[in-house]
């Protein structure tokens, strides 16, 4: 009984934090979103606001680029400006180029793939000499991008995939923070993500639903882990069934398995995670299809999870740099 009282007190405390954080971020979010709208840019929910430091901003990856790579990124931005394309187009091209060639004009590739974007002459992209020429390749990439319906209204990595048609569509997302940093720095944009700078994150803030989900999950502490546990009873759980039932109790429906739950809300850098957000672990953190575990963030570097066979539902500390932890959290229902 004493344990139950502690759990309820902790849940109420976290719930209070969620609500107070939400009140602050609602005001901040409204102001910054208005600024983004005035600039004709939509907020990139995967990145949140631009930051001045390396955390979540892609600055570390950008600093590792060679002079040649930065020159190619600069050419992508310059040609994009010359064509009067919005910053989102520059970001799409940088993410595609970084994924395909590391932003280098390669003279080799899979089959007859060549150049920055690994374009194939045999598929009508141009002659070998043309696709190896950076200016030609960038213009050709933009030609195709502009013909894609709705490319401005989706994640940059999704638009990169629409142009490249890769067998590994999720890999383009890896370079999202770095590309955003580059278009802000090299493109001289004060607000590269369209979400404002420096204060809070521009996703809808944690809500009463998050507090309810947290409280429900905490009340299951001590229940056994069972892989594939049924979701119509609350006496045993695996990682994703605990998340599903906690949020279902709060009125938000999630998919059954963890890798699908990763796509069931808005993405944000894990450093910006708030209580109720979901954290994910994957065998290959650049590929969401390899996600194998999910837990709920409680704040203060703690999570509640159903971890594995023999370990009941519990709270544990989490390090944002620990192995296999995905770099982005998910805010369910957003």
Domain ranges of the chain: 2-23+201-332, 51-185
Q: What is the pLDDT of residue 18?
A: 38
* Whether 216 contacts 249, CB under 8 Å: yes
Which residues have a Cβ under 8 Å from the Cβ of 252 and sit 6 or more positions away?
A: 209, 213, 332, 333
238 vs 34: which has the higher pLDDT: 238
Q: Is the pLDDT of residue 188 over 80?
A: yes
When pLDDT is cut at 50, 70 and 90, the band that residue 287 belongs to is confident
Q: Is the pLDDT of residue 21 over 80?
A: no
Give φ, ψ of 230 to 5 degrees.
-65, 150
* Whether 49 contacts 193, CB under 8 Å: yes
Mean pLDDT in residue range 135-147: 98
Phi-psi region for residue 165, left (φ > 0), alpha (ψ -120 to 50) or beta?
left
Q: Is the full-model pTM beyond 0.95? A: no
Residues in the chain: 334
3-state secondary structure of 172: helix
Q: Is the pLDDT of residue 26 over 90?
A: no
Round to whole Å and give the CA distance between 31 and 14.
26
When pLDDT is cut at 50, 70 and 90, the band that residue 53 belongs to is very low
Q: What is the pLDDT of residue 54?
A: 39
Q: What is the pLDDT of residue 154?
A: 80
Nearest Cα neighbor of 60 from 325, 321, 324 is 321
Range in 27-31, 96-100, 127-131, 182-186 the model is least confident about: 27-31
Round to whole Å and give the CA distance between 79 and 92.
13
Phi-psi region for residue 118, left (φ > 0), alpha (ψ -120 to 50) or beta?
left
* Whether 116 contacts 132, CB under 8 Å: no
Integer Rg of the chain from CA: 22
* Whether 213 contacts 279, CB under 8 Å: no
Q: What is the pLDDT of residue 206?
A: 67
User: For residue 244, with 0-12 CB atoms within 10 Å meaning exposed, 13-18 middle and 19 or more buried, which class applies?
Assistant: buried
Q: Is the pLDDT of residue 161 over 60?
A: yes
Q: Please give the share of the chain, as a percent, with pLDDT higher than 90.
A: 56
177 vs 33: which has the higher pLDDT: 177
- Tell me the pLDDT tens digit for each residue of 92-125: 999 999 999 999 999 999 999 999 999 999 999 9
Round to whole Å and give the CA distance between 236 and 224.
5
Q: What is the pLDDT of residue 271?
A: 87
Mean pLDDT in residue range 130-135: 97
Q: Which residues pair with 225 in a beta bridge?
A: 237
3-state secondary structure of 311: strand
Q: Any idea which fold 2-23+201-332 has?
A: endopeptidase fold (from Nostoc punctiforme) (3.90.1720)
Mean pLDDT in residue range 55-69: 81
């Amino acid at each position: 009984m004493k344990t139950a009282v502690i759990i309820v007190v902790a849940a109420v405390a976290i719930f209070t934090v969620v609500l107070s954080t939400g009140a602050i971020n609602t005001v901040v979010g409204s102001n910054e979103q208005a600024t983004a709208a005035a600039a004709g840019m939509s907020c990139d929910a995967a990145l949140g606001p631009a930051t001045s430091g390396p955390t979540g901003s892609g600055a570390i990856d950008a600093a590792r680029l060679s002079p040649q790579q930065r020159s190619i990124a600069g050419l992508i931005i310059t040609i994009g400006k010359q064509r009067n394309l919005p910053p989102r187009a520059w970001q799409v091209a940088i993410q595609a180029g970084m994924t395909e060639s590391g932003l280098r004009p390669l003279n080799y590739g899979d089959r007859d793939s060549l150049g920055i974007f690994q374009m194939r002459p045999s598929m009508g992209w141009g002659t070998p000499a043309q696709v190896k020429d950076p200016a030609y390749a960038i213009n050709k990439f933009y030609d195709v991008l502009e013909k894609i319906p709705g490319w401005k209204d989706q994640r940059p990595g999704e638009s990169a995939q629409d142009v490249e048609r890769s067998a590994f569509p999720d890999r383009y997302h890896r370079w999202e923070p770095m590309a955003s940093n580059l278009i802000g720095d090299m493109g001289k944009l004060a607000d590269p993500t369209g979400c404002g700078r420096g204060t809070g994150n521009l996703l809808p803030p944690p809500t009463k639903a998050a507090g309810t989900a947290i409280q429900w999950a905490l009340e299951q502490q001590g229940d056994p882990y069972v892989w594939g546990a049924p979701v119509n009873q609350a006496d045993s759980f695996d990682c994703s069934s605990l998340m599903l039932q906690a949020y279902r109790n709060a009125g938000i429906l999630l998919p059954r398995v963890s890798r699908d739950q990763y796509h069931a809300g808005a993405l944000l850098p894990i450093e910006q995670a708030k209580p109720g957000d979901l954290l994910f672990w994957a065998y290959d953190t650049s590929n969401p299809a390899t996600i194998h575990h999910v837990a709920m963030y409680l704040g203060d570097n703690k999570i509640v999870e159903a971890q594995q066979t023999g370990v009941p539902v519990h709270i544990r500390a989490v390090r944002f740099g620990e192995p296999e932890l995905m770099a982005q959290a998910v805010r369910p229902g957003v």
